[in-house]
A and B are shown apart, each in its own frame.
Chain A
Amino acid sequence: MRPDRAMWATGLALACAVLAGLVLNLLTGLTRLSWGIALAIGVTAAGAGLLVARRRARPEPAPPVRTDWFRVSPVTGGLLALAAVLAGGAVWLGAASASWPRAPGFAQLWLVPGHGTSATLGVRDSYPGRHTFQLVLSGGGKAVGRWTLTLADGQTWQRTVTTAAGGLSATLTTPDQELKVTS
């Protein structure tokens, strides 16, 4: 197999996909169904074109025998297998190290005004493992709500609250700091 043939085939497939996408955008939009139909039409047209081209092609003299093609001997195969193992090891190490925990973690606290007098109070935990948080909602100088939240990494707690005349404030005590929001 010659790399330039694969290059032309792949490049043409990508270019046709881009140009087909422009056409689909005008016709139906770029949906799974429309891409499926476009692919079927493309494959059929390419196959038919190839058959016609082969039939029309004049018989050509046999190509000269190439003496410099890549012959895969056991040694060559072994070296290529070694290359594959090294590259595979590199990819594995990259993927494994990317998932190592790097930061101690954090929490998110928000109090976002909604419609009328309502607001959304939310907490999301991004500390590794499960943690317990103390959440206090205050309005008019006194606490109007207290929650003890035990959340896992990635878990969200959210509820709608009613805003007070003087505004609300919420304080979240996390394992290593205190977060504060106001409305």
Chain B
Amino acid sequence: MTYANKTAAAVAVLAAGVLAISAAYAVGRAGPGGSAHEAAVAGYWAGQALIFAAPAALVLGRERPAEAPAAWLAVALGLATYLVKYLYSPGGFQFSDEFLHLRTLASLQGTHHLFGVNDALPVSPGFPGIEIATSALTDLTGLAVFPAGLIVAGLAHLILTTALYTLFRQVGGDPRIGLAAVTVYATSPHFQVFDAIFGYQTLALAFFALALLALRAATRPDASRGRAGAAWTLAAVFAAATAVTHHVTSYILVGTTILIAAAALLAKDTRGSRRAYLGPACFAAGSAALVALWTGLVVPGTVSYLSPAVSQLSDGFRSALSGHMAQTGSTAPLPTPAADRIASIAVAALIMVVIPFGWRQVWRTQRGDPWALALAAGAVLYYPCVALPFVTADGSEIAGRLLTFVYIPVGYTLAAALVARPPAAALRLTGRRRVTAGLATAVLLAGGITQGWPPWWERLPGSYVVDGFESGVNAESLAAAGWAAATLPPGQRFAADYTNYILLGTLGGQNPVNGLTALFCGRSWTLADALIARKQAVRYLVVDLRTSQQRAPDGSLFAEANTCPSPIPRADLAKFDAVHGITRVYDSGNIVVYDLSEAAYAP
């Protein structure tokens, strides 16, 4: 079998995996319980296994992968994983963060100007990269928002996959290590879905990877003056695009290039080369200046947006050092299935054990290359990421977000350990190494999915789960948001549970207010409730009666941590009907909206 045929067969296997997942999703939507649902879940896992078996087989085959097939297979992997995300909700956007960015896009399309108001995610209009690109596509082609957003996010996902393959291949000097590293990266918890949604980070990740590639081209010792100049121009364009598209990605771009500059000072081959360390250092300084200017002049709110997470992290680490572990909320989430817990622990253990082997491999074969050293050094960040869930209450979420970036060095370091690097072992892998690497890929995939998005209760779409993120969004919730957009003036202040909070703040064009869970809990409407409502100038209150029927899967029915019971007793939700001055202005069976404007305490 020729190499081209092997690659084409691998692409067909990959497509079969996508079909298996699509069939599992279809069964999930059809809604059968019991064994049919179990079979669909098994089909989903089989599909995932097929998708990742294709590149793994090419990497672990007897022959070294050729250049073009390896590159195209990386592209096919990006396309297949994007289809997995698309097939989850092919009828429209369904992820919470997608709704948040739709509001920014709606503001842009309504006013034809940037930097409008987004009450649901106030920092989003300050980083309008993905909305600009989508609005350009809708204006130039006449496409609707959903297909245009899918195209922009899909292109960004493909660019990220291809750019990372190219970077890994260039640093590793071998298509096998490039394909191995990008396959490991594709198993990262958020690669398949969260980093492919219609959200600002999706596009920024593509710019981030291209900026790094351009910087590498600009600082190559053998680059001609013309090529170096062109590469510097590209690096500047992509750094600027990153800075205006996503805050954290732009900070990590600065940090990464500082790490590369530091590695160039230490690397054996570049210790005396000013170009090797001055280039990345100047790029880091320029990028940092851009980021500071953008944050200071255009989006100063970024500091207050990110500072709670930063102070939570620092407090958590301080407490951990003094022997205290993170406290979880008072309402417990639904128990995670044992298999998911085992897979999450196994992947963390595997990565932590294998990283030192990768370090050894890089040190033995690439200690002169600053980029390889920087990638190996960056992998050390995986260890604090594993510790984060034990340190702060939101540690799992923060760690998951950080792993998007940390998996880049982890991917390379693991690939170096598992596949080795030419000229030594890579040209001919031993059978034992192939089996070990294959098993490791399976563990990486299982752990990545169980730690990633969507969570276990909505891994297959279709079932309704109250305030269960994507599974909490159904036609009735969307209709309530649509009613608010069509009937009420925009920007009204609402109190609502998580799903209605997101939908009213985005599709509904309203201003949902955080921290009002106390209004919903308790058998009677108290003076304290009245004072909270008055202080927060709440005009409307949404009661979703389904919050009295199910427990929230993550423990909280609201956007913030709270002490409200889950589910909420029905009598607590019925109290508003008996309060003088509170009128019931909307009813769709499960969702009721109350108007507080005629109550004595309301504005």
A100 at the interface (CB under 8 A from B): yes
Among residues 149 to 195 in chain B, which have CB atoms less than 8 Å away from a CB atom of chain A? 152, 155-156, 158-159, 162-163, 166
CB-based contact B585/A94 at 8 Å? no
CB-based nearest A residue for B19? A90
A134 at the interface (CB under 8 A from B): no
Task: Mark each residue of chain A from 1 to 26: 1 if its CB lies under 8 Å from any CB of chain B, else 0.
Answer: 01110111011101111111110010
Task: Mark each residue of chain B from 231 to 252: 1 if its CB lies under 8 Å from any CB of chain A, else 0.
Answer: 0001001101100110000000
> How far is B91's CA from A30's CA once the two chains are assembled, in angstroms?
27
> How close is B186's CB to chain A, nearest CB, in angstroms?
15
Chain A hits for B30, CB < 8 A: 97, 100
B381 at the interface (CB under 8 A from A): no
CB-based nearest A residue for B462? A102
CB-based contact A109/B152 at 8 Å? no
B112 at the interface (CB under 8 A from A): yes
> How close is A169's CB to chain B, nearest CB, in angstroms?
8
Known: A19-B237, A91-B90, A124-B479. A68 touches B66 (CB 8 A): yes
Among residues 431 to 476 in chain B, which have CB atoms less than 8 Å away from a CB atom of chain A? 462, 464, 474-476
Chain B hits for A36, CB < 8 A: 139-140
CB-based contact A106/B475 at 8 Å? yes
Among residues 231 to 279 in chain B, which have CB atoms less than 8 Å away from a CB atom of chain A? 234, 237-238, 240-241, 244-245
CB-based contact B135/A30 at 8 Å? yes
> How far is B35's CA from A116's CA once the two chains are assembled, in angstroms?
59
Chain B hits for A122, CB < 8 A: 487
B39 at the interface (CB under 8 A from A): no
Chain A hits for B402, CB < 8 A: none
Chain B hits for A84, CB < 8 A: 15
> How far is B86's CA from A23's CA once the two chains are assembled, in angstroms?
32
Among residues 14 to 71 in chain A, which have CB atoms less than 8 Å away from a CB atom of chain B? 14-22, 25, 29-32, 35-36, 39, 66, 68-71
Q: How many A-B residue pairs have CB under 8 A?
A: 256
Task: Please report the total number of A residues contacting B with Cβ < 8 Å.
Answer: 78
CB-based contact B587/A180 at 8 Å? yes
CB-based contact B163/A7 at 8 Å? yes
> How far is B87's CA from A15's CA once the two chains are assembled, in angstroms?
27
CB-based contact A73/B5 at 8 Å? yes
Chain A hits for B19, CB < 8 A: 86-87, 89-90, 93
B397 at the interface (CB under 8 A from A): no
Q: Which of B72, B86, B587 contacts A70 (CB 8 A)?
A: B72
Chain A hits for B155, CB < 8 A: 10, 14
Chain A hits for B237, CB < 8 A: 12, 15-16, 19
A108 at the interface (CB under 8 A from B): yes
CB-based contact B476/A106 at 8 Å? yes
Chain B hits for A18, CB < 8 A: 129, 132-133, 203, 241, 244-245
How would you classify the secondary structure of chain B's contact residues: helix, strand, loop or mixed? helix
CB-based contact A4/B588 at 8 Å? no
> How close is A37's CB to chain B, nearest CB, in angstroms?
11
CB-based nearest A residue for B69? A70
A165 at the interface (CB under 8 A from B): no
> How far is B483's CA from A67's CA once the two chains are assembled, in angstroms?
62
B12 at the interface (CB under 8 A from A): yes
CB-based nearest A residue for B169? A4
CB-based contact B113/A29 at 8 Å? yes
CB-based contact A14/B108 at 8 Å? no
CB-based contact B589/A98 at 8 Å? no
Task: Mark each residue of chain A from 102 to 126: 1 if its CB lies under 8 Å from any CB of chain B, else 0.
Answer: 1100111111110000001010101
CB-based contact B15/A3 at 8 Å? no
> How far is B136's CA from A85's CA once the two chains are assembled, in angstroms?
32
> How far is B381's CA from A165's CA once the two chains are assembled, in angstroms?
67
> How far is B479's CA from A122's CA once the two chains are assembled, in angstroms?
13
CB-based contact A72/B4 at 8 Å? yes
CB-based nearest A residue for B476? A106
B93 at the interface (CB under 8 A from A): no
Interface pairs (17), CB distance under 8 Å = A2-B68, A14-B156, A21-B136, A32-B140, A66-B68, A68-B69, A70-B7, A70-B68, A75-B5, A80-B8, A90-B83, A97-B25, A98-B90, A113-B597, A126-B476, A177-B589, A181-B585
Chain B residues packing against A (C-beta within 8 Å)? 2-5, 7-9, 11-12, 14-16, 18-19, 21-23, 25-26, 29-31, 66-69, 71-72, 74-75, 80, 83, 86-87, 89-91, 108, 111-115, 128-129, 132-133, 135-136, 139-140, 152, 155-156, 158-159, 162-163, 166, 203, 206-207, 210, 234, 237-238, 240-241, 244-245, 462, 464, 474-476, 479-480, 483, 487-488, 583-590, 593, 595, 597
Shortest beta-carbon contacts, A-B, top 10: A21-B132, A68-B66, A79-B8, A97-B26, A86-B15, A29-B112, A90-B22, A15-B241, A94-B87, A98-B91
